[in-house]
Each structure stands twice: as C-alpha cells, then as structure tokens.
C-alpha cells in the first residue's frame, strides 16, 4: 500500500489491469449468454452482463440525448448510457484520465507501444506536419456521429432505441468479431502493428471517444502544472510524455492529448515542481488521490444507476430467445433497413 501511494505508475498499472480483468469477466459472461441464445436455449442460461453496453457508445449517446430531450431513461440499453455519463463526468473533472487509467483499449495500446520500445529501442515519432492532420481524424469521426445524432428528434431517437437492430446491437457486435470478415481482420492487424511502432496510434488518431474526452478535458479544473521558479529545465518530463507534449515549456498543460497519466510527474527530479493542481498556487494532487477520484467517479455514477434500479434492461429470457431466432433476418441488419417492431410490439 505504501508503494502504491507513492508510485503513481504502479497504482495506475494496477487499476488498468483490474479494469481489464473486469472487462474479461464481462466478456466471458456475455460469451456464455450468447452461446445460450445461439443454441436456442440448448446450453445453460447465463444472465447477460449489462456492462457489455459500455462497448456500444453510439447507442449510449442516443440514449443520453433521448433522456435529456425526452425525459425518459430508456430500458433497452440503460447501462450503456450511464457508463457513457461516467466517462463524460471523468473527462469534465479529471481530463482524459479515463484513457490512461481505465480504458481497456488504452491499456492495450500502451502495452503495444511499450512492446515496440522494447523490441526496437524506441517508437516512431510522426513528423508534426503529418501528426496534426492525423490527429484531426478522430474529431472528424466524432463530428460525423454527433452531427447525425443532433439531427434526430425525440420520435427518431425512440424509433432507433426501440428498433430490433438496437435491441440486439450487443449480440450483433459479438457476431461481428466472432465471424470477422477478412477485411476487418486485416484492419485490426494493421492497427495493432501501427500501435507497436507509433505510441497510442488508435487513441491519438482515430478514437472518437478520445476526441470527445479531449474536447471536454479543456474544461477540466485539474491540470499538469509546472512551477517555473524551481524547474531546472532538464526536459525529463517532456521525454517521459507518451503524448509528445512539450511539458517543460508549459506552465499549465492544456493539451487535448494529455491523459493525466502522471508519467511526467513521476519523471520530474525536483520535488513539488511538476504536479496536478487546481491552480498554479494550489496544493498538488497526489497520484493516489487522483487514481481514487478516477475510480470513484466511475463507481459513483454506475453505482447510483444500480441503486436506482436503472442498470438492467427490460428484455427477458423469452424475448431474447425469440430475437436470437430471427437475428439473421433483414430487420436486424442495421437501423433503417426494415428495422421495425414486430406484431407483439417488441
């Protein structure tokens, strides 16, 4: 415990891998649920884990808009919306901390560039004239999704939420990866290889979630703060930064790429010179407090949804069995291609 409270990187690694284990547990439970559904109830029933909805961010965003404009928490994928809310709350308060402390894709991405560093001695630095336009790609993707959702009025949002496609979106996502096409397979392989040679390739250039959190993180009151008086300009902070931010030149790090990973703080050799603070003259926030806040915000938002009885969706075993049988029909292809409710109103 003493080591964890004094070593932000060990604490961060422990939290990251705990979250990966949680996601693996959700994945195994969902796999068993899918096996039950795909065998039409022929194998043992395992309850569908609501946490799987964390991997349906578009559905979560639509649910959030429906809640704000329609005043209704939908019962199709409610946990997806609360997971999204927890991530947005952490972005608003704690910069892009979700990316470097909790996100399993962020953890995989970090493990891959560390592997690349071990194999090749260093990672590839993309020239800034290419880096800037590439970084804007994730904002374009985010704009595409947010703009499409912004055009939807409450009836259109309800129609999407109640569509057969959305109701089984988690099952469709599972089948996408279980029966992955060769194009999608090779795309994943290319992304993995690029992530080995370039630090956080997916997160830095393509992840719309990262773009959303990056935009929100500008508002975050907590920022990496450098004390100019005691700084000895050794540049160790800049060398340690996986987001290629020139920390040694900043007083407060405003960059949308800062994930509050504390690597620069850990690298600084002068005590109380580089920390996370509310203001330049405020008290530093130790890594263990920051890590507890990241986990705390996530647990608080999702826990409140559980306590309020808004976590589980309303689809029962019987409805799932019925939908699994027609999963390959056109109604489930994608929203808009015949996605209608059936005669029973489901």
Q: Going by C-beta distance under 8 Å and a sequence separation of 6 or more, which residues neighbour residue 25?
A: 49
Binding flag, residue 59, ligand SF4 (CB under 6 A): no
Would you say 158 and 70 are in contact if contact means Cβ atoms under 8 Å apart?
yes
Site string for ligand SF4, 201-240 (x = CB under 6 A): -----------------------x-x----xxxxxxx--x
Binding flag, residue 259, ligand SF4 (CB under 6 A): yes
Q: Going by C-beta distance under 8 Å and a sequence separation of 6 or more, which residues neighbour residue 304?
A: 82
Residue selected from 79, 243, 302, 313 as contacting ligand SF4 according to rule CB under 6 A: 243
Residue selected from 260, 293, 294, 301 as contacting ligand SF4 according to rule CB under 6 A: 260
Residue selected from 270, 278, 300, 308 as contacting ligand SF4 according to rule CB under 6 A: 270
Binding-residue total with ligand SF4 (CB under 6 A): 28
The nearer residue to ligand SF4, 167 or 204, going by C-beta atoms, is 204
Of 20-28, 151-159, 190-198, 251-259: span binding ligand SF4 (CB under 6 A) = 251-259
Beta-carbon count within 10 A of 65 CB: 18
Binding flag, residue 298, ligand SF4 (CB under 6 A): no
Binding flag, residue 313, ligand SF4 (CB under 6 A): no
The nearer residue to ligand SF4, 59 or 225, going by C-beta atoms, is 225
Identify which of 15, 14, 38 has the alpha carbon closest to the alpha carbon of residue 320: 38
- Least distance in angstroms from the C-beta of 101 to ligand SF4: 11
- Least distance in angstroms from the C-beta of 287 to ligand SF4: 10
Tokens of 192: 């993995």
Would you say 22 and 51 are in contact if contact means Cβ atoms under 8 Å apart?
yes
Residue selected from 241, 293, 305, 331 as contacting ligand SF4 according to rule CB under 6 A: 241
Residue selected from 26, 261, 294, 301 as contacting ligand SF4 according to rule CB under 6 A: 261
Identify the bridge partners of residue 20 per DSSP, sorted by sequence position.
none
Query: Could you give the CA distance from residue 83 to residue 79 in angstroms, rounded to a whole number?
Result: 6
Residue selected from 258, 294, 301, 331 as contacting ligand SF4 according to rule CB under 6 A: 258
Buried/exposed code over 214-241 (b: 16+ C-beta within 10 A; e: otherwise): bebbeebebbbbbbeeebeeeebbbebb
Beta-carbon count within 10 A of 101 CB: 28
Q: Any long-range contacts for 20-23 (C-beta under 8 Å, 24+ apart)?
A: 20/104, 20/107, 22/51, 23/51, 23/104
- Least distance in angstroms from the C-beta of 268 to ligand SF4: 3
The nearer residue to ligand SF4, 231 or 315, going by C-beta atoms, is 231
Residue selected from 198, 268, 285, 294 as contacting ligand SF4 according to rule CB under 6 A: 268
The nearer residue to ligand SF4, 169 or 222, going by C-beta atoms, is 222
Q: What is the DSSP string of 137-156?
A: HHHHHHHHHHHHHHT--HHH
Beta-carbon count within 10 A of 291 CB: 23
Tokens of 281: 């003259």
Sites of contact with ligand SF4 (CB under 6 A): 224, 226, 231-237, 240-241, 243, 245, 247-248, 253, 258-264, 267-268, 270, 273-274
């Amino acid at each position: 415990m003493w080591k964890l409270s004094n070593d932000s990187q060990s604490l961060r690694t422990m939290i990251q891998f705990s979250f990966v284990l949680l996601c693996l547990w959700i994945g195994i439970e969902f796999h068993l649920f899918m096996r039950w559904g795909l065998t039409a109830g022929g194998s043992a029933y395992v309850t569908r884990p609501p946490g799987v909805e964390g991997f349906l961010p578009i559905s979560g965003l639509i649910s959030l808009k429906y809640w704000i404009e329609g005043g209704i928490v939908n019962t199709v994928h409610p946990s997806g919306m609360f997971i999204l809310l927890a991530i947005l709350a952490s972005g608003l308060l704690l910069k892009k901390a979700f990316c470097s402390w909790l996100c399993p894709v962020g953890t995989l991405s970090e493990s891959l560039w560390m592997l690349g560093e071990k194999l090749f001695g260093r990672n590839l630095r993309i020239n800034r004239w290419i880096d800037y336009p590439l970084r804007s790609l994730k904002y374009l993707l985010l704009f595409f999704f947010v703009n499409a959702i912004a055009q939807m009025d409450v009836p259109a949002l309800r129609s999407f939420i109640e569509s057969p496609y959305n109701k089984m979106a988690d099952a469709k996502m599972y089948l996408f990866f279980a029966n992955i096409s060769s194009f999608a397979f090779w795309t994943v392989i290319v992304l993995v290889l690029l992530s080995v040679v370039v630090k956080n390739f997916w997160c830095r250039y393509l992840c719309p979630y990262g773009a959303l959190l990056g935009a929100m993180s500008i508002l975050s009151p907590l920022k990496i703060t450098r004390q100019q008086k005691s700084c000895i300009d050794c540049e160790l902070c800049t060398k340690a930064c996986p987001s290629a931010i020139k920390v040694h030149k900043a007083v407060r790090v405003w960059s949308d790429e800062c994930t509050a990973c504390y690597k620069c703080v850990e690298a600084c050799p002068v005590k109380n010179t580089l920390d996370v603070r509310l203001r330049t003259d405020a008290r530093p926030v130790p890594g263990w407090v920051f890590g507890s806040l990241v986990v705390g915000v996530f647990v608080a938002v999702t826990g409140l949804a559980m306590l309020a009885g808004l976590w589980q969706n309303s689809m029962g075993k019987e409805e799932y069995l019925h939908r699994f049988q027609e999963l390959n029909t056109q109604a489930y292809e994608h929203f808009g291609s015949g996605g209608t409710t059936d005669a029973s109103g489901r």
